[in-house]
Amino acid sequence: MNELEAIYTEVITEHSRCQENKHPLQCATCCQKGHNPSCGDEITLELQVEEGRVKDAAFTGAGCAISQASTDIMIDLMRGKTVEEARSLTDKFMAMLKREVTDEVELEDLEEALALKNISNMPARVKCAALAWRTLKEALGRAD
Protein backbone atom coordinates (compact mmCIF):
# COMPACT_ATOMS: atom_id res chain seq x y z
CA MET A 1 0.00 0.00 0.00
CA ASN A 2 2.80 2.43 0.88
CA GLU A 3 4.48 1.95 -2.43
CA LEU A 4 1.14 2.75 -3.99
CA GLU A 5 0.62 5.91 -2.02
CA ALA A 6 4.02 7.06 -3.26
CA ILE A 7 2.59 6.83 -6.76
CA TYR A 8 -0.97 7.99 -6.37
CA THR A 9 0.06 11.17 -4.62
CA GLU A 10 -2.30 14.10 -4.53
CA VAL A 11 -0.21 15.83 -7.17
CA ILE A 12 -0.80 12.92 -9.53
CA THR A 13 -4.47 12.36 -8.84
CA GLU A 14 -5.20 16.08 -9.13
CA HIS A 15 -3.39 16.39 -12.41
CA SER A 16 -5.15 13.26 -13.65
CA ARG A 17 -8.50 14.98 -13.19
CA CYS A 18 -7.41 18.42 -14.34
CA GLN A 19 -9.20 19.49 -17.49
CA GLU A 20 -7.28 22.69 -18.26
CA ASN A 21 -5.01 21.22 -20.90
CA LYS A 22 -7.59 18.80 -22.17
CA HIS A 23 -9.23 20.27 -25.23
CA PRO A 24 -8.62 20.63 -28.96
CA LEU A 25 -6.08 23.35 -29.80
CA GLN A 26 -7.34 26.02 -32.19
CA CYS A 27 -4.02 27.16 -33.65
CA ALA A 28 -2.23 23.82 -33.62
CA THR A 29 0.66 23.45 -36.03
CA CYS A 30 1.02 19.77 -35.43
CA CYS A 31 -1.06 16.91 -34.14
CA GLN A 32 0.23 13.53 -33.01
CA LYS A 33 -1.62 10.44 -31.83
CA GLY A 34 -0.13 8.18 -29.17
CA HIS A 35 -1.43 4.76 -28.26
CA ASN A 36 -0.68 1.88 -25.90
CA PRO A 37 -2.33 -0.99 -27.79
CA SER A 38 -2.05 -3.45 -24.91
CA CYS A 39 -4.08 -1.30 -22.53
CA GLY A 40 -6.08 0.88 -24.90
CA ASP A 41 -4.84 4.23 -23.59
CA GLU A 42 -4.78 6.79 -26.35
CA ILE A 43 -4.08 10.49 -26.55
CA THR A 44 -3.99 13.07 -29.29
CA LEU A 45 -1.39 15.71 -28.58
CA GLU A 46 -1.64 19.05 -30.35
CA LEU A 47 1.19 21.55 -30.43
CA GLN A 48 1.49 25.11 -31.60
CA VAL A 49 5.15 25.45 -32.51
CA GLU A 50 6.25 28.86 -33.75
CA GLU A 51 9.76 30.22 -34.24
CA GLY A 52 11.29 27.17 -32.63
CA ARG A 53 9.18 27.42 -29.52
CA VAL A 54 6.28 25.41 -28.10
CA LYS A 55 3.88 28.31 -27.77
CA ASP A 56 0.98 26.20 -26.64
CA ALA A 57 -0.07 22.57 -26.29
CA ALA A 58 -3.19 20.59 -25.40
CA PHE A 59 -4.48 17.03 -25.58
CA THR A 60 -7.58 14.91 -25.87
CA GLY A 61 -8.04 11.22 -25.17
CA ALA A 62 -8.63 8.70 -22.46
CA GLY A 63 -6.46 6.66 -20.18
CA CYS A 64 -5.49 5.77 -16.64
CA ALA A 65 -4.67 8.34 -13.97
CA ILE A 66 -0.96 7.94 -14.58
CA SER A 67 -1.12 8.54 -18.32
CA GLN A 68 -3.53 11.45 -17.91
CA ALA A 69 -1.52 13.10 -15.13
CA SER A 70 1.72 12.60 -16.99
CA THR A 71 0.26 14.26 -20.09
CA ASP A 72 -1.14 17.18 -18.14
CA ILE A 73 2.12 17.79 -16.27
CA MET A 74 4.14 17.50 -19.45
CA ILE A 75 2.04 20.12 -21.22
CA ASP A 76 2.43 22.56 -18.31
CA LEU A 77 6.17 22.00 -18.42
CA MET A 78 6.57 22.37 -22.16
CA ARG A 79 4.56 25.52 -22.69
CA GLY A 80 7.01 28.29 -23.69
CA LYS A 81 10.05 25.99 -24.03
CA THR A 82 12.15 25.92 -27.17
CA VAL A 83 11.94 22.77 -29.26
CA GLU A 84 15.50 21.96 -28.21
CA GLU A 85 14.66 22.30 -24.51
CA ALA A 86 11.50 20.24 -24.97
CA ARG A 87 13.51 17.45 -26.59
CA SER A 88 16.12 17.39 -23.88
CA LEU A 89 13.51 17.43 -21.09
CA THR A 90 11.75 14.53 -22.78
CA ASP A 91 14.98 12.54 -22.89
CA LYS A 92 15.61 13.32 -19.24
CA PHE A 93 12.11 12.19 -18.27
CA MET A 94 12.57 8.90 -20.12
CA ALA A 95 15.95 8.44 -18.46
CA MET A 96 14.27 9.01 -15.09
CA LEU A 97 11.68 6.31 -15.80
CA LYS A 98 14.43 3.90 -16.77
CA ARG A 99 16.38 4.87 -13.64
CA GLU A 100 19.32 5.95 -15.78
CA VAL A 101 19.21 9.32 -14.03
CA THR A 102 18.24 9.26 -10.36
CA ASP A 103 19.93 12.37 -8.98
CA GLU A 104 17.16 14.76 -7.88
CA VAL A 105 19.31 17.83 -8.54
CA GLU A 106 19.90 16.75 -12.08
CA LEU A 107 16.18 16.05 -12.48
CA GLU A 108 15.16 19.37 -10.97
CA ASP A 109 14.21 21.04 -14.25
CA LEU A 110 11.52 18.40 -14.79
CA GLU A 111 9.63 20.31 -12.07
CA GLU A 112 6.32 18.63 -11.29
CA ALA A 113 7.11 15.71 -13.58
CA LEU A 114 9.45 14.58 -10.80
CA ALA A 115 6.31 13.39 -9.07
CA LEU A 116 6.28 10.52 -11.57
CA LYS A 117 9.69 9.26 -10.52
CA ASN A 118 8.30 6.47 -8.36
CA ILE A 119 6.57 4.89 -11.34
CA SER A 120 9.91 3.29 -12.08
CA ASN A 121 9.11 0.99 -9.13
CA MET A 122 6.04 -0.28 -10.96
CA PRO A 123 7.27 -1.80 -14.21
CA ALA A 124 3.73 -2.61 -15.36
CA ARG A 125 2.86 1.08 -15.38
CA VAL A 126 5.98 2.70 -16.83
CA LYS A 127 4.44 2.67 -20.29
CA CYS A 128 1.47 4.67 -18.99
CA ALA A 129 3.74 7.45 -17.74
CA ALA A 130 5.81 7.36 -20.92
CA LEU A 131 2.94 7.62 -23.40
CA ALA A 132 2.65 11.41 -23.61
CA TRP A 133 6.40 11.95 -23.74
CA ARG A 134 6.88 9.34 -26.41
CA THR A 135 4.13 11.06 -28.39
CA LEU A 136 5.71 14.48 -27.88
CA LYS A 137 9.04 13.20 -29.10
CA GLU A 138 7.42 11.98 -32.31
CA ALA A 139 5.57 15.26 -32.73
CA LEU A 140 8.76 17.28 -32.25
CA GLY A 141 10.57 15.04 -34.67
CA ARG A 142 8.24 16.38 -37.29
CA ALA A 143 8.07 19.93 -35.98
CA ASP A 144 11.20 21.32 -37.59
Partner 1 sequence: MSEQDFLRDFPLLNNKVNDIAYLDNGATTQKPESVIQAICGYYGGCNANPHRGAYALSVKATDIYENARGKTAGFIKAKDPAEIIFTKNATEALNLVAYAYGLANVEQGDEIVLTISEHHSNLVPWQFVARTKGATLKYIYLEEDGNLSQEDIATKITDRTKIVAVTQVSNVLGLKNDVQDIVKKAHSVGAVAVVDGSQSVAHMQVDVQALGADFFAFSGHKMLSPMGIGVLYGRYEILDHMQPFLFGGDMIEYVDEQETSYAEVPARFEAGTQNVGGAAGLTAAIDYLEKIGFERIEAIEKDLVDYALPRLREMPFIELYGCDSKIDNKTGIITFNVKDVHPHDVASILDSQGVAVRAGHHCAQPLMKYLGQNATCRASFYLYNTREDVDRWLDALSKVRRVMHLE
Residues that bind partner 1 (CB under 8 A): 1, 3-5, 7-8, 10, 13-14, 38-41, 62-66, 68, 122, 124-125, 128
What is the nearest approach in angstroms of partner 1 to the Cβ of residue 4?
A: 4
What is the nearest approach in angstroms of partner 1 to the Cβ of residue 44?
A: 14
Instruction: Tell me which DSSP letter residue 106 carries.
Output: T
- With a CB cutoff of 8 Å and minimum separation 6, the contacts of 88 are none
User: Which run of H or of E encompasses 12?
Assistant: helix 10-17
Task: Give the residue with the Cβ less far from partner 1, 74 or 140.
Answer: 74
Task: Give the residue with the Cβ less far from partner 1, 78 or 134.
Answer: 134
Count CA within 13 A, CB hemisphere, residue 75. 27
CA dist 137 and 35 (Å) reads 13
Task: Give the residue with the Cβ less far from partner 1, 105 or 124.
Answer: 124
What is the nearest approach in angstroms of partner 1 to the Cβ of residue 131?
A: 12
